[in-house]
Amino acid sequence: MFIGEASKLSGATQRAIRLYESVGLLKVSREGKYRVYTAENIALIKIIKEAQTLGISLSEMVVLISKQEGFDWYLVRDFLNQKYNMIENEIKNLEIKKNSITDFQVSIDTCLKHLDSNP
């Protein structure tokens, strides 16, 4: 199939598909001057798109590609574990900030009540 159909099936724009190929994430065979996409290419494009929604950059994905034909899945697993731990830490830090904001709001409300009660 050609790029138009690959785009429809994968949900990626033609421009994105060309970008994936240019950075080395996607290897596509050619027939003459046309790129010919396979079902495996479509599956990989979907994986790349999903990884992007998880906050994984294309440059990070390039690092995860092994010298063979595709991802080093052990490296991907370890990378995802690291990403997960980073997100857990971010959540903890955000919870701390959220609690601090709540404490400040309570303090401000208390101060405002004292101001309103003293004419």
Taking only the tens place, the pLDDT of each residue in 69-82 is 677 788 888 999 99
- The three-class DSSP label of residue 70 is strand
Amino acid at 50: E
Evaluated on CA atoms 39, 45, 49, 50, the torsion sign reads: positive
Please, which pLDDT band fits residue 87 given cuts at 50, 70 and 90?
very high
- Among 56, 102, 105, which Cα is nearest to 79's? 56
What pLDDT is stored for residue 45 in this prediction? 95
Distance CA 38, CA 61 (A): 20
Tens of pLDDT, residue by residue over 33-56, are 899 999 999 999 999 999 999 889
